[in-house]
Structure 1
Amino acid sequence: MAISTGIALFLVTIFGMEGFAYVMHRWVMHGPGWFLHKSHHRPRTGNWELNDLYAAIFAVPSIVLLLGGVQLGWWPGCTWIGAGIAAYGAIYFGFHDIIVHRRVANRYLPRSRYMKRIVQAHRLHHAVETKRGTVSFGFLWAPRPEALKEALNRRGNAGVRAPTAERDRQAV
């Protein structure tokens, strides 16, 4: 296989993974897989949450494709596709876990319009604590924050978590 074809497969896979991630997040994680994902919409009490199992689950196809392409003599494109899935996972980990959720200490502040939009969209997604009613399911692409706020308002802000001070008063 020509290296240019392999690189093209790798890049197409990375971009295609955003569509796959959107579908999985919207209709699986906020559907039948909510029993794992709901831990991600609650305050974390330790280093891990049940939602982290999704990273292991989604790594399996990458590992299988890399193993098959490198060691088992499968079509060489399997290696490039497996690497593209792994690269998307690394990009997702960097944006989601390090930049947005700060699971690894850092001092990064988003300055570009793109990064500010992605971070704000993800925070609006997490404003909703329930399985239904949330917005913005992609991660490398997100609608304008104004559109997301309008969508939450149209839904009557159902499931939107109370501001911290109000939650504290309700707990007393």
Structure 2
Amino acid sequence: MFEAIGFTFLGFLLMELAGWFIHKYLMHGPLWMIHKTHHQPSKSFFELNDLFSLGFGSVAVLLIFLGMDGFDYRFWIGIGISVYGISYFFLHDVLVHRRLKWFDRPKNSFLKGIFRAHQAHHRTNKKEDAVSFGLFIVPKEFFKNEEK
């Protein structure tokens, strides 16, 4: 059981680290033509950038299927990536971008920090000059208490 929890956590952590790297160096690099749809106003529910989520989800499904026989490390890493994807959906798409208006703006200080970091990331709609590329791992400055 501890092994399953460990590999699930590892999958989650690896997804955050890989996501940060991919976002900074690929999405804001050679794959900008796809990612820029996320930085531009749109009236559509879907954007070309959603292809990245399909890609990450496909990796998770593949790992789960490869590890199903015996529930080995691949299965649990795939589960960790899936948990990350679900978290991403709720934090990024629902809470921050309000693609589905299920919740109000965050009141929790951790969620506020994530929200502020993502707002700072979207201050530019250009390939360059963006900040804060992670979802959970963001600079400390975004978690400082607001001035009253």
TM-score by length of 1: 0.78
Task: Write out per-residue CA displacement over residues 104-146 of structure 1, whole angstroms, 9 at most, x where no aligned residue.
Answer: 1123221122111110110110011100111000111211139
Match of 2:14 among 4, 13, 16: 16
Q: After TM superposition, list the pairs within 5 Å mapping 1:2-151 onto structure 2.
A: 3-70=1-68, 73=69, 76-143=72-139, 144-145=141-142
Give RMSD over aligned pairs: 1.7
Task: Write out per-residue CA displacement over residues 31-82 of structure 1, whole angstroms, 9 at most, x where no aligned residue.
Answer: 0110100000000121110001111111121111111111xx3771111011
Deviating more after overlay: 107-116 vs 52-61: 107-116
Residue type of the alignment partner of 2:138: A
Listed as ranges, the gaps of 5+ residues in structure 2 are: none
Partner secondary structure for residue 124 of structure 2: coil
- Separation (CA, whole Å) in 1 of partners of 2:105 and 2:48: 28
* Percent of aligned pairs with the same amino acid: 35
- Separation (CA, whole Å) in 1 of partners of 2:137 and 2:47: 25
Greater C-alpha radius of gyration? 1
Deviating more after overlay: 137-146 vs 115-124: 137-146
- Separation (CA, whole Å) in 2 of partners of 1:83 and 1:24: 20
> 4+ residue runs of structure 1 moved beyond 3 angstroms?
none
Count of residues in Structure 1 that have an aligned counterpart in Structure 2: 143
Checking the alignment, whether the CA contact within 8 Å between 2:110 and 2:143 is kept in structure 1 is no
